[in-house]
Structure 1
């Protein structure tokens, strides 16, 4: 029997009787991070890293039963030892280490290896079996250092100001938006944000995260406030009437998908910044290698391609079907 199994409800540990990031309601759910495809409503009990607790309550309701634990703290459930290891994906994100009878499995959730300065950096874990994402599991996806990316973003903002345009940056409302704000806070004096970004931002500020103040855009926001402004909005705002008030503006999309130039053209963006909170091809390979896992299970993304590559290079790997996805695709918050 496998320590972790892939079922129609999610990744299940029968020995401990709990699920990791289940996509159907279960009694006991261990959550890797607060994105909607990994943390869903309807579970009886939730377990997650401390920083994820307020984000889960914000998304799922303040009345959910949730226990927060620190990174590396051990929790024993029915004789199975659990610990949460930093994943570096976003604030509070964790890999789930499961240890039972001398066998160790790690379910990574989503992760990136580059330290963004805000979330706790990714830590590799030695294990017998590793469950990895493969959102960007193709060789074409190789990220530049974030210092270069943010330098390019700030130069774009400066050029827009010279042209008398607002700079509208599209980024996931939870995770990517905070990364942008954190990295630009010493270069930009004022941020205007969409409501879908303002709400989790207020929650994180209340928890002590060192993020800059933002101004929420409302129907009463004067049009003159948008002139030369830096505006951050979720991807769902791209084709929405909400954006018309910001004219004239230049539109920039922050996403790993911008690695493929055609994606920027198809989305009518003025600029595409290859900024991702997921590991690139090299990062995925490094993470897998550092686990020394004898077998690897590859989930959402280019799972078949990545699993085949691992197998051809001496690592037993197989693709598995899950309900996980990409935050940019599944999130659709209203303005």
Structure 2
């Protein structure tokens, strides 16, 4: 019996009769993280990391049947030993390790290699089979250290504030927004967030995570309080009437897609910052090598190119796996 197979409902572990990040309603769903392409509504029972508990309830409903466990703790389902391990993607993100009859498979979900100071850092898990995303699986994607990116963000904000301008920075509401908040130089000015980010922050704080608890940027916020402010908002707010209250302002976008074709992907933004919650080309290779896997399944992104590279240059057997993991919020996604 296979330990993992692709079914119409998603990645399936037959001996455990459980699915990992299924895209259709099933009885038992193991969730790698709370982004909406991985954590969908309608499952009879969910298993996830304990740091995902409150944000999953926020997104899927307070009455979901949810079991949470810490990293490294094993549980057994139908003879399959299951444990969750740090993925470093967002708070509570996990790799799912499945062990049955001496064989080990790991489903990584989404991950990044650089520790972000918010999520538990990625740890490679030795296995026979490894399922890996390759969102940025091309050699052109190479991230700078996040400290340099945050230095540029803070410098941009300071320059705007000195010129009497507010700064509106677009970033995905779960993971990247909190990562940015925790690295802002708050001595520059006040910090506000969009309502969706504020709700997410409250859920994460309730789960015990250390997140800068910034107030909502509401309609009745006095303009005097907004002077030289930093406002963090999801990409969906770009160009919306909600933005008018921040005039005069400059806009920026944080995304791995800013690495190339920046002018087009920035759309109406004034500046783009290359900051991703996914591994770059070198990070993907390092992570895969770290697992010592005999076979690698690739999902989402440049699967064909990356599979060819692994086969021809690294001697790793790689197979493309067609899934519905596509990120969130349009072309910027959760990148």
Scaled by the length of structure 2, what TM-score is found? 0.95
Scaled by the length of structure 1, what TM-score is found? 0.95
Deviations 1:216-268 (A, max 9, x none): 12222233333211000000011212112211111010000000143456512
Match of 1:90 in 2: 90
Unaligned runs of 5+ residues in structure 2 are none
Alignment of 1:145-164 (within 5 A): 145-164=145-164
Match of 1:257 in 2: 257
Match of 1:318 in 2: 319
With 239-248 and 43-52 compared, the bigger mean Cα shift is at 239-248
Match of 1:67 in 2: 67
- Cα deviation for residue 189 of structure 1 reads 4.9
Instruction: Indicate yes or no: 2:2 matched with 1:2.
Output: yes
- Cα deviation for residue 16 of structure 1 reads 0.5
Match of 1:143 in 2: 143
With 318-327 and 262-271 compared, the bigger mean Cα shift is at 262-271
Distance (Å, rounded) in 1 between the aligned partners of 2:57 and 2:17: 23
Alignment of 1:167-186 (within 5 A): 167-184=167-184
CA spacing shift, 1:264–1:250, aligned 2, 3 Å: farther
Match of 1:39 in 2: 39
Match of 1:232 in 2: 232
With 183-192 and 51-60 compared, the bigger mean Cα shift is at 183-192
Instruction: Give yes or no for contact 2:192–2:217 (8 Å, CA) kept in 1.
Output: yes
Deviations 1:1-24 (A, max 9, x none): 421001110100011000000000
CA spacing shift, 1:97–1:265, aligned 2, 3 Å: closer
CA RMSD of aligned residues (A): 1.6
How many residues are treated as equivalent by the alignment? Answer: 332
Instruction: Give yes or no for contact 2:25–2:42 (8 Å, CA) kept in 1.
Output: yes
Instruction: Give yes or no for contact 1:185–1:211 (8 Å, CA) kept in 2.
Output: no
- Cα deviation for residue 186 of structure 1 reads 5.2
Match of 1:301 in 2: 301
2:183 is paired with a residue whose SS is helix
Instruction: Give yes or no for contact 2:31–2:38 (8 Å, CA) kept in 1.
Output: yes
With 30-39 and 305-314 compared, the bigger mean Cα shift is at 305-314
Instruction: Give yes or no for contact 1:254–1:276 (8 Å, CA) kept in 2.
Output: yes
Alignment of 1:239-278 (within 5 A): 239-263=239-263, 267-278=267-278
Match of 1:292 in 2: 292
Unaligned runs of 5+ residues in structure 1 are none
Distance (Å, rounded) in 2 between the aligned partners of 1:315 and 1:9: 28
- Cα deviation for residue 157 of structure 1 reads 0.5
Distance (Å, rounded) in 1 between the aligned partners of 2:8 and 2:86: 27
- Cα deviation for residue 312 of structure 1 reads 1.5
Distance (Å, rounded) in 2 between the aligned partners of 1:103 and 1:40: 28
With 212-221 and 79-88 compared, the bigger mean Cα shift is at 212-221
Distance (Å, rounded) in 2 between the aligned partners of 1:254 and 1:141: 15
Instruction: Give yes or no for contact 1:258–1:264 (8 Å, CA) kept in 2.
Output: no
Match of 1:131 in 2: 131
Deviations 1:269-323 (A, max 9, x none): 1111100110001000000111111110000111121112111221111111111
Match of 1:280 in 2: 280
CA spacing shift, 1:165–1:284, aligned 2, 3 Å: same
Instruction: Give yes or no for contact 1:308–1:318 (8 Å, CA) kept in 2.
Output: no
CA spacing shift, 1:264–1:331, aligned 2, 3 Å: closer
| Structure 1 residue ranges, 4+ long, deviating more than 4 angstroms after superposition | 185-189, 263-266
1:210 is paired with a residue whose SS is coil
CA spacing shift, 1:225–1:285, aligned 2, 3 Å: same
